[in-house]
Chain A
Amino acid sequence: MTTVVPASPRKDRRSRGARRTAVAWLFLAPFTLVFLLYTAVPTVAALGFSLTDLRGMDLRHPFAVDLVGFDNYLRLFRDDSFLRDLLNTGLFVAVGVPLTMGIGLALALAVNSGIRRLRGVFRTVFFAPVVTNIVAVALIWQYAFHANGTVNEVFGAVGLAGPNWLDDPDLAMPVVILLGIWRNFGYAMVLFLAGLQAVPREVYEAAAIDGAGRWRQLRHITLPLLLPTTLVVTVLLTVFYLQVFDEPYLLTNGGPLGSTESVALYTYRQFGAGEFGVSSAASFVTLLLIGLVSVVQFRLLRPRT
């Protein structure tokens, strides 16, 4: 069915290619539009904003905005509350990531260890917190952890006076981290389960024939083969936790005395106060931290072969 018109075949192919490209980008148009408006432009703009003294009230008068170089960044690192929030966020990551992963891995191993009954039920239960609305959960935790709440009822039952968890600067952070762990361990578990199911059964059978017990199999087969999954889970959880906002905002609003305020919460507060430049600088610090930590983790955990 070749055309009889003596058009050069190359030109014909090129115009068909151009047509195909136009059609494809038409298909991609809605996504591309949203991407440009809400990812591409904002990423560049965030860096730009962070170098200016842009304030909320300037939105109507863009020409009143001046370049201030790295002043916003200097201001951040001279601000004690920002430094405190950096430390808080670091604590959230340092405690939250290993615990979330440990629980997720342990449960994945348990659920995957050949139990047949209730297996689906366990998976559903452990994954439910991941999809549960955080505002609802935070309200429940406030109800449970207030001075006379359901948690302290347990302390009362054994004759102890429970503390006022969320109003105690030393105890609020552990509760906020616990909420983060509760909300995310099921996510780690599901990723580990996927990793476990990729390990071929024959490997275990061979090991069992060689006389390797459960513990040896775990140490020498399962865990090494899970290394790529572990890497992914570590990076993902670290990226989540470096941006932690919902948990401290909803449970304690950063208090008491700023003891649970995270960098994301700081960013939001600066934004709320109209300090768009400072806020953007703080977000950019988060972005740099995320990039840095991800690169380091990829280096450290990459399979050495």
Chain B
Amino acid sequence: MTDVATLKKPESKSAGTATITDPIAVRPRSVARPLLYSALVLCALLTLLPFLWVISGSLRSLDEIRSDPGAWLPHHVTLDNFTRLFATEGFGRFLVNSIVVATIVVLGNIVAASAAGYALAKLDFAGKRIAFGAVMAALMVPFTAVFVPQFVITVDLGLADTLTGIALPAMALPLSVFIMRQYALSIPDELLEAARIDGAGEFRIFFRIFLPLAGPAVATVTIMSFLFSWNNFIWPLIVAQSTSSYTLPVGLAATSQAAAHVTDYGLMLAGAIVVMLPVLVLFLFLQRHFVRGIAGTGMR
């Protein structure tokens, strides 16, 4: 093996010694390692800059941002922006709307995805391929291509400008079905078969045997559908037509765009913190669900 390799590589000067010395020990780790760490730390700091700016900016007073807009750190720390934010007309409403929509979406996904995922993984039936094809199609059809008819349908259903209209299309995300199906595939058939022989019906098996085992997948689905709903911007922007049905991101974007060039940055940054905090906190504690859910399927 080694001989063949050295023959193939006449350009390697000390092919003979390389076979004797431990190749791993030869490497100049002592230099490369700190260099690697410094590069990574630098990249990490650059990535985190916007987070530093939003924290420091949201803690600066209106006057301070006006007189010295570019300062990286507050001269005096104040929570004034947050107090003003929660006193702002409509803000509480946006927050409640976002929470209501996210709750409907999460519950819908748990029900729809666990049932569909279970059927796709564990039941034999006519049209199974078509059903799985539908999940894949739903994963792939780009939102940009379909939002106009989606809106028309929402209007026809009488759901324009309602929270239900905002939540409905996201209540059975293909990503959730996919996660559930993958998880259900990992549950041994024998377990379900045993119950079937004992005479248990499919619904009983689903509720009594599958669901209690599906905890981890339910957790991933909960987190992914919450993330989707909470961060979704363009669909609520299209459906919500009056401020009474704005979600938090839509309300925040509308407020800042209405203000155009006289933006009250402190207030906006405080709003930004409130919007991003729930997801970031979840992410810090439940990272593996995010990575599994996002990297596993190619969807955000």
Contacts and interface: CB of A to CB of B under 8 A. Distances in A.
Interface of A: 17, 20-21, 23-25, 27-35, 37-43, 45-46, 49, 59, 107, 110-111, 113, 115, 118, 121-144, 146, 148-153, 156, 182, 186-187, 190-191, 194, 206, 208-211, 213-214, 232, 236, 239-240, 242-243, 245-246, 249-250, 253, 263-264, 267-268, 271, 276, 279-280, 283-284, 286-287, 290
Given A46-B145, A208-B24, A190 B295 contact: yes
Given A140-B50, A140-B269, A264-B144, A156 B294 contact: no
A206 to B, nearest CB: 8
Interface of B: 1-2, 5-6, 9, 12, 15, 18-19, 23-24, 27, 33, 36-37, 39-40, 43-44, 47-51, 53-54, 57, 69-72, 108, 111-113, 115-116, 118-120, 123-128, 131, 134-135, 137-138, 141-153, 155-156, 168-169, 171-172, 174, 177, 202-203, 206, 227, 230-231, 233-234, 238, 249-250, 252-253, 256-257, 263, 265, 268-269, 271-273, 275-276, 279-280, 283-284, 287, 290-291, 294-295, 298, 300
Contacts of B275: 133, 135-136
Contacts of B171: 30, 34
Nearest to A283: B145
8 contacts: A24-B125, A122-B40, A125-B44, A127-B291, A133-B231, A210-B18, A211-B18, A286-B145
Given A41-B149, A271-B147, A23 B123 contact: yes
Given A118-B37, A142-B265, 6 more contacts: A30-B111, A30-B171, A148-B69, A236-B298, A271-B148, A280-B149
Contacts of B33: 115
B56 to A, nearest CB: 9
A49 B24 CA distance: 64
A28 B202 CA distance: 13
Nearest to B126: A21
